[in-house]
């Protein structure tokens, strides 16, 4: 059930408080929070809108400015295509965490919180602590073949992959389903 006090703006501000305790200086700029520590910047962005979250929505929210880290929070849910694009986008790779409440529309009150972690272990830990203070327990996006956390996406079939179920082409560095999965993705690709 949706806690009455859960608004992503409250969650984002509590997350910012925790970051301040960890040595960040946080200021508000254009409806977003910007954290700074040791010359590195972090964008904290939230959107209290339900439904599917697309890559275009994320790109519009983030803008052209490049940050050293991103903490994005949505009441809606990430589509599989959005997750694949985020993982492959060099702007977000290795420096992003995304919280999704998982609400399909404004009538939906059943939270299905999930976290997409693309790097930044410290930010992930702070976000998990913040969620627990709101009584929320978020799961991670999982590999399509097992219960391990998602690491990448197959460039041929689009399945979510963990370290065990992926293979990287030594020439083009793209990721594919490991041959042990029974998929033939690696042999189907052509290096660029």
CATH code for the domain of 96: 3.40.1340
Average pLDDT over residues 108-133: 84
Q: Under DSSP, is residue 36 helix (H, G, I), strand (E, B) or coil?
A: strand
- For residue 104 the two structure tokens come to 């399909």
Q: Are 98 and 122 in contact (CB under 8 A)?
A: no
Would you say residue 166 lies in a domain?
yes
Q: What is the mean pLDDT of residues 26-30?
A: 87
Examine the domain organization and report whether 18 and 109 are in the same domain. yes
The whole-angstrom distance between residue 180's C-alpha and the CA centroid of its chain comes to 27
Residues 128 and 173 in one domain: no
DSSP SS3 for 127: helix
100 and 23 share one domain? yes
**Domain that residue 27 falls in:** 8-140
Say if residue 47 is in the same domain as residue 68.
Answer: yes
Q: What pLDDT, on the 0 to 100 scale, is given for residue 83?
A: 92
33: in domain:
yes
pLDDT at 62: 86
Please check whether residue 50 lies inside any domain of the structure.
yes
> Structurally, how many domains does the chain consist of?
2
73 and 165 share a domain?
A: no
Is residue 62 situated within a structural domain?
yes
Query: Are residues 126 and 79 both part of a single domain?
Result: yes
Residue 72 resides in a domain: yes
The pLDDT-based confidence of 1 (bands split at 50, 70, 90) is very low
| Percent of the chain surpassing pLDDT 70 | 96
Q: What is the mean pLDDT of residues 161-188?
A: 93
Q: Quick one: 162 and 126 in the same domain?
A: no
Sequence-ordered strand ranges (E) for the chain = 25-29, 32-37, 40-47, 52-53, 69-74, 77-78, 95-100, 114-119, 139-140, 152-153, 160-161, 166-168, 175-177
- The answer on 156 and 136 residing in a single domain is no
Task: Tell me: do 127 and 51 sit in the same domain.
Answer: yes
DSSP tally for the chain: helices H, then strands E: 5, 13
SS3 33: strand
- Mark whether 46 and 111 lie in a shared domain: yes
* 66 and 15 belong to one structural domain: yes
| pTM across the whole model | 0.84
Same domain, 95 and 136: yes
């Amino acid at each position: 059930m949706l806690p009455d006090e859960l608004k992503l703006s409250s969650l984002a501000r509590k997350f910012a408080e925790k970051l301040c305790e960890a040595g960040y200086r946080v200021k508000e700029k254009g409806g977003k929070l910007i954290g700074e520590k040791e010359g590195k910047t972090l964008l904290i962005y939230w959107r209290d809108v339900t439904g599917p979250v697309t890559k275009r929505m994320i790109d519009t929210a983030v803008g052209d400015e490049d940050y050293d880290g991103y903490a994005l929070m949505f009441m809606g849910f990430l589509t599989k295509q959005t997750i694949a694009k985020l993982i492959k986008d060099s702007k977000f790779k290795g420096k992003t965490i995304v919280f999704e409440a998982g609400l399909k529309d404004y009538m939906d009150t059943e939270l299905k919180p999930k976290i997409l972690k693309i790097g930044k272990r410290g930010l992930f830990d702070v976000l998990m602590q913040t969620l627990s203070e709101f009584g929320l327990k978020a799961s991670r996006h999982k590999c399509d073949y097992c219960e391990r956390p998602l690491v990448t996406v197959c460039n041929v079939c689009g399945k979510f992959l963990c370290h065990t179920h992926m293979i990287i082409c030594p020439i083009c560095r793209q990721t594919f389903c490991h041959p042990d999965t029974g998929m033939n993705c690696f042999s189907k690709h052509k290096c660029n």
